Structure 1
């Protein structure tokens, strides 16, 4: 019996030694083994680190003086002209991208809104007649939407009404109205962005300047609150001195305003109620009334903005309308786009080989420009 069991015992011992050896090897090689317990990160620590990664960095408040060299070398871009079957004159144009559509508001005698498919710029739909009747528009502005259920909102400056442009291209008036302007002007100058279907931010003229307001729709009422005063000098009290462009980012809780007649931008941290002002050494606008400020001899700085998820893009001229017209007579067409992150840090500056109205498509890495000088107006620029 012992002889018959002896080989079996040897086999069992051998198997046991093999198992022990494998355990030693695995223990030495595996960083998650008991021998390396100090490298194991507790689950609650992982969750805390994930929260830290998701939190957007804080904006550094204060006024910062900058020169144009803060962007580094200007990047020259040559646009690819895109043909379309639509025939229209580019006039007081505004554009934005939603999903695979380029939506345009264009002041003309036909339809006020044109919708094109990307990337081929095929006209999908034209709608919105000019007029004073039901369903007609006089001075509409496109309002980018964070709502996945619609394409964008439309703000009618003539009567302070808001509409929703649905995904089926129908236009529905919203059941509430924005507060009337604080200044006695025939046309409201609100510049709106949408944070949600029930919350809008806007910049608007106030007595002696301009301010940012937060508008919320509650269950049975609305709430309107001024959150930042954009006025910066008693020497400039005309509403025209504070003309500019407004954008915001709901996810990062940031707003930005760029002044037309000053090379000046204000980035606002809405969560912490702080602001960062960028002031470029570009000279001040003329003092005086609206006529003096808007003189064609006065330098135009910013006059177009496209707020995206990661960056904000601002159209920049840096010349007066008189100078631009002289260049056009020589067939010299160009304009700049400045790129900033949402904490007000300059990232890049592009020189486009045409002049017109623009929007950014950060998802596709493109800038789109509607030229005022070409019969086929669309140009596509590839950015980094």
Structure 2
């Protein structure tokens, strides 16, 4: 009789664990309810968006990554939607930056980085609102052996946080403006896979990094997965707060001479598409869509926004009225700005009220 009870207990626990594994395939299961949010009447200046590769904002301006006509970014007034200026001259001159330089806004500073040349700089957005073609200020030119950096955040003007891979083992590294590595932390999910070289590991660990405004806290999501980390820097040490790793990317590493690639499986979820932050919350544009369904590739877009606090705890889930490709948050106005497609397949930006 005791043996039967024991076997029934084992069977029950097995079923429970199996159910647990199913539930933990998506971060959406952490959220108990869904809130619909309404659009606010607001419009960007007509025909001002030729292309969009990302957006950022503060309480006075909205910046669009567009990379065309010799400039990298378009700056708009966040109240009126009118264009203020274009900035970030593309080139290799003293006050120019390479094509495809990304970054983020914190307060009135727009921080930029370009890992291929080891460049970190910043724009003063107050100056860029009144000075035509304002140049960036260089903060550092780094060169760190073993570092393959996907994204960078500025802790201060001489200390930086890199996300990607370091020595093919760690996800994050802290370094200064002299290229000295201060700390590294959090083992990458595929660190022990012997068939991968350092470039395979880097390519399979790229993602999106955001910094908490005014604090040394960060969030990083890994592309083509449902994995996201919340962490902080204290006393020049990287400390993991919470790691929500639901499923790792599936991929096949390839090598053609010196050229390394990773071919991601079509069965991967797209996962986290973009991240917007305030000093209280992390807003993640997320989808459970696969990369490809029925031989058709899905757009990198979603109507779902999962909101976490900075300790990685779920707060709320929003459903948008339109498929969004990028998002950014203005805490002061309590607005979410989302990049969407127009019927003619052009771009526009819609505004939502958030609580």
Contact 1:143 1:154 in 2 (8 A): yes
Contact 1:191 1:203 in 2 (8 A): yes
Residue 307 of structure 2 corresponds to which residue in structure 1? 339
- Alignment RMSD (CA, Å): 3.2
Deviation at 1:260, TM superposition (A): 1.8
Deviations 1:164-191 (A, max 9, x none): 21221122332531234636xxxx6431
Max Rg structure: 1
Contact 2:164 2:206 in 1 (8 A): no
Residue 141 of structure 1 corresponds to which residue in structure 2? 102
Give the 3 Å change call, closer, same or farther, for CA 328–365 of structure 1 in structure 2: same
Residue 4 of structure 1 corresponds to which residue in structure 2? none
Q: Partners in 1 of 2:61 and 2:295 — Cα distance? A: 33
Give the 3 Å change call, closer, same or farther, for CA 274–298 of structure 1 in structure 2: closer
Q: Select which of 40, 52, 66 maps to 1:106.
A: 66
Contact 1:249 1:307 in 2 (8 A): yes
Residue 50 of structure 2 corresponds to which residue in structure 1? 89
Give the 3 Å change call, closer, same or farther, for CA 115–79 of structure 1 in structure 2: same
Q: Partners in 2 of 1:254 and 1:136 — Cα distance? A: 28
Deviation at 1:293, TM superposition (A): 4.5
Residue 232 of structure 1 corresponds to which residue in structure 2? 189
Contact 1:138 1:156 in 2 (8 A): no
Give the 3 Å change call, closer, same or farther, for CA 368–207 of structure 1 in structure 2: same
Q: Partners in 1 of 2:294 and 2:46 — Cα distance? A: 29
Q: Partners in 2 of 1:319 and 1:180 — Cα distance? A: 36
Structure 1: give runs of 5+ residues left out of the alignment.
Answer: 1-63
Residue 165 of structure 1 corresponds to which residue in structure 2? 123
Contact 2:121 2:137 in 1 (8 A): yes
Deviation at 1:241, TM superposition (A): 2.5
Contact 1:84 1:376 in 2 (8 A): no
Give the 3 Å change call, closer, same or farther, for CA 192–336 of structure 1 in structure 2: same
Deviation at 1:300, TM superposition (A): 0.9
Give the 3 Å change call, closer, same or farther, for CA 277–75 of structure 1 in structure 2: same
The answer to whether the aligner puts 1:379 opposite 2:337 as a matched pair is no
Deviation at 1:325, TM superposition (A): 9.5
Q: Partners in 1 of 2:172 and 2:211 — Cα distance? A: 11
Give the number of the structure whose residues are more often helix, by fraction: 1
Equivalenced residues, count: 305
SS at the partner of 1:239?
helix
Structure 2: give runs of 5+ residues left out of the alignment.
Answer: 1-22, 129-133, 255-260
Q: Partners in 2 of 1:171 and 1:300 — Cα distance? A: 36
Q: Partners in 1 of 2:350 and 2:313 — Cα distance? A: 27
Give the 3 Å change call, closer, same or farther, for CA 360–235 of structure 1 in structure 2: farther
Deviation at 1:319, TM superposition (A): 1.0
Q: Partners in 2 of 1:214 and 1:247 — Cα distance? A: 15
Deviation at 1:246, TM superposition (A): 1.4
Deviation at 1:311, TM superposition (A): 0.9
Contact 2:143 2:179 in 1 (8 A): no
Q: Select which of 216, 225, 247 maps to 2:176.
A: 216
Matches within 5 A, 1:286-325: 286-289=250-253, 293-323=263-293
- Taking structure 2 as the reference length, the TM-score comes to 0.74
Residue 222 of structure 2 corresponds to which residue in structure 1? 259
Deviations 1:251-303 (A, max 9, x none): 454222212222122212433834321233xx543243275553455321012
